[in-house]
Amino acid sequence: MEHKPYPILLPEPATGAVEGVLKLLVLVDSPLWLNPEMLHALEDQRFNFEESTGGRVTTQFEFVEHLLDEIPWSRSYYGGQEYYYPSVTWLDQMAQKYRGDADFLQVVIDESHWNKKGQNSAVWGWNVGIHQVIRGRQGMSWQSFKKTFDMELVHSFDQLARTIGYNLNEIFEVTSFDEGVVHAKDPQYAGKRFEYRHVYTRIVDILIQLFPKPMVDKAKLIQITNELLFRNPTASDEVYLERPEAEVRAEVGSSHERTQLIALVGAGRNVSPL
């Protein structure tokens, strides 16, 4: 069963000094649709980005409901143990199906639909290239949701940074960014697993290069504004004209009109569990 894409927008991100915006489309399993703890986790993640980058980087989310009870799973071995993650082909198909201008696809799967074969019952998230997979359940705390959202998103930064010439292993002085920093196995990052504000601070300029704030066509904006403010209103225009700023944003193609997804295709794929 598939539900029509329906964008649910969290409150607007910070304005003013913002230079980079990470746009994420979250594909949510039906049992977790509009889960308040999940929304709280993502809003707190946004706060962390803004606080640790001095307001220069923020996040933007949209959500699509989809019953995820028939996901094809692929088998993998990690540390000699058997695990299962959603098929790369299936994730790419979801990305194509909901194609738009978001930067990442995040798939939130209810525990009742999670593959628990092998050691997978102990896994709460996957990073599959630049796709992120999050396991959730009703009653799960926002802090637990946030740990997985944060970790899987940060896993993706290493691969994307390489596409523009940056090596996060060198920047963080580790042999493996994924293991040393994200999983906090390097002694200098001990105790920082699930705490990534130091990462956002250190790579803020890279994040801005990867996810620059969309530029508005000022000429188009002025034209639309003039049309809104100087035409002769009718009774049917009253509500429309009460919020010209919101309508202008929609007219210039902002996220308010978006219901689809784009997944950036990087060179190669890294697959690792939480």
CATH code: domain of residue 66: 3.40.390
The mean pLDDT of 50-68, rounded to a whole number, is 94
Residues 159 and 227 in one domain: no
pLDDT value at residue 48: 95
Containing structural domain, residue 134: 20-212+259-273
CA distance 16 to 135: 35
Query: Does a structural domain hold residue 1?
Result: no
pLDDT confidence of 180, banded at 50, 70, 90? very high
Looking at the domain assignment, is residue 6 inside a domain?
no
pLDDT of residue 264: 23
Residue 253's pLDDT is 33
126 and 65 in a common domain: yes
228 shares a domain with 205: no
Same domain as 168, residue 244: no
Please classify residue 192 by burial: count the beta carbons closer than 10 Å to its beta carbon, then call 0-12 exposed, 13-18 middle and 19+ buried: middle
Q: Look at residue 223 in the predicted model and tell me its pLDDT.
A: 58
pLDDT bracket for residue 130 (50, 70, 90): confident
Up-side HSE of residue 48: CA atoms within 13 Å toward CB? 18
**d(C-alpha 254, C-alpha 141), whole Å:** 32
Domain count, the chain: 2
Which tops the pLDDT comparison, 97 or 145? 145
End-to-end C-alpha distance for the chain, whole angstroms: 28
Give me the residues paired with residue 22 across strands: 59
Is the pLDDT reported for residue 167 higher than 50? Answer: yes
Residue 125: φ, ψ to 5°: -170, 160
Q: Is residue 44 in a domain?
A: yes
